Amino acid sequence: MTVHELLQLPDLTALCLEDGEREIDGVYIGDLLSWVMGRAQSGNAWITIMSNINVLAVASLADVSCVILAEGVTLSEELLTAAKEKGINVLSSSKPAYETARLLFGSLS
Amino acid sequence: MSEPLIFHFDVDGDNFTSAGQASVTIKKDLRRLGLSSEIIRRVSIAMYEGEINMVIHAGGGVADVRVFEEYIEIVLTDRGPGISNIDQAMQEGFSTAPDAIRSLGFGAGMGLPNMKRYTDDMKIETVVGEGTTITMRVNLT
Ligand SMILES: Nc1ncnc2c1ncn2[C@@H]1O[C@H](COP(=O)(O)OP(=O)(O)OP(=O)(O)O)[C@@H](O)[C@H]1O
Ligand SMILES: [Mg+2]
């Protein structure tokens, strides 16, 4: 399933969709950046509640397919610009991380 | 053997939000060289962890990347406080990061273990009170 297709799900909105055709391959949940860099796989959707410039750097380096900000967290204008520049897909979910993961589980499998 | 390609970066110790710039740049450079995405991912994550460590723990430093035919070498040098116990620092979960840094998502004590995990060879040379040099290698063949 692509990031674009994932956006058909209720509760998810696109904050920055730079590469909607990217395939989603699995999910990783975490807020501590070094855990994400050590454990997330390339292509994973990364669910987090952190929203700062370092999250964008990690998303790019770890090569995740998209960042999903749980709990309705959003990006500031400045971060939105940075996400666009870096070509990172960023979505926002109105649900907590667990509910968001359940939503993805239903669609990915 | 042909000459290596050399990239040099000054890593600013004060500017925490731009930290990671060297790694992001390297990622682009390596992509331009046509290296596999797996190699690029390993090199850029290892370098990012080292770069962030220099910013958080050592007040900045310099990063040098050399691309040889058979491997990529990353050398990170700082004049920070040094590491008094390397075995302890290498343990997953050990961190001396202050609270302000933790609230940004760092300080899990996973950076050095990640650097080891993503590279084929890693060497730490450190003198307390003088600084630290970390040399990492990722094989291309
Ligand atoms: N360049 C350095 N100079 C001095 N001390 C360092 C340096 N790099 C690491 N350390 C020490 O080693 C510890 C472990 O480093 P490591 O990168 O594994 O974890 P961290 O930086 O604290 O957290 P994380 O990397 O998960 O965000 C640090 O907390 C710090 O005490
Ligand atoms: Mg670290």
CATH of B5-139, one of 3.40.50.720, 3.30.565.10, 3.30.70.370, 3.90.1150.60: 3.30.565.10
Which of B112, B116, B133, B136 to mutate for ligand 1's pocket (most ligand atoms within 8 Å of CB)?
A: B112
Locate the ligand 1 atom nearest the alpha carbon of residue B92 and give its number.
18
Residue B65 CA to residue B47 CA, distance in Å, equals 9
In terms of residue numbers, what domain contains A10?
A: 3-108
Task: Using an 8 Å CB-CB cutoff, list chain B residues near A88.
Answer: none
Q: How high is the pLDDT of residue B21? A: 86
Euclidean distance between the first and the last CA atom of chain B, given in angstroms as a whole number: 15
B123, two tokens: 């060497």
How many residues comprise chain B? Answer: 141
What residues in B contact A40, CB-CB < 8 Å? none
| Residue B1 pLDDT class (50, 70, 90 cuts) | low
Closest CA to B102 of B60, B46, B56: B56
Backbone angles phi, psi at B120, to 5 degrees: -90, -20
Residue B14: pLDDT band with limits 50, 70, 90:
confident
Q: Residues B32-48: pLDDT tens digits? A: 999 999 999 999 999 99
Q: What pLDDT, in 10s, does the model give residues A77-106?
A: 999 999 999 999 999 999 999 999 999 998
How many domains is chain A built from? 1
Residue B109 is predicted with a pLDDT of 98
> Does pTM top 0.90 for this prediction?
yes
Residue B88 has a pLDDT of 98
Sign of torsion over alpha carbons B48, B49, B55, B61: negative
Instruction: Report the length, in residues, of chain A.
Output: 109
Q: pLDDT tens digits for A1-57? A: 999 999 999 999 999 999 999 999 999 999 999 999 999 999 999 999 999 999 999
pLDDT band at A108 (very low <50, low <70, confident <90, very high): confident
CA B38/CA A105 separation, integer angstroms? 26
What confidence score (pLDDT) does residue A97 get? 98
Picking from A95, A105, A33, A99, the residue whose alpha carbon sits closest to that of residue B16 is A33
Distance of alpha carbon A19 from alpha carbon A29, whole angstroms: 21
Cβ separation of A61 and B19 shorter than 8 Å?
A: no
Q: What is the CATH number of the domain that holds A51?
A: 3.40.1390.20
How would you classify the pairing of strands A66-69 and A27-29? unpaired
**Does B51 contact ligand 1 (Cβ within 6 A)?**
no
**Rounded Cα–Cα distance for residues B74 and B8 (Å):** 10
C-alpha–C-alpha distance, residues B113 and A63, integer Å: 19
Angle, CA of B110, A59 and B50, to the nearest 5°: 40
B10, pLDDT greater than 70: yes
Nearest CA in chain B to A58: B45
Q: Quote the CA–CA distance of B29 and A70 in Å, as a whole number.
A: 33
Of A68-72, B43-47, B80-84, B99-103, which gets the smallest average pLDDT?
Answer: B99-103
ipTM, interface predicted TM-score of the complex: 0.92
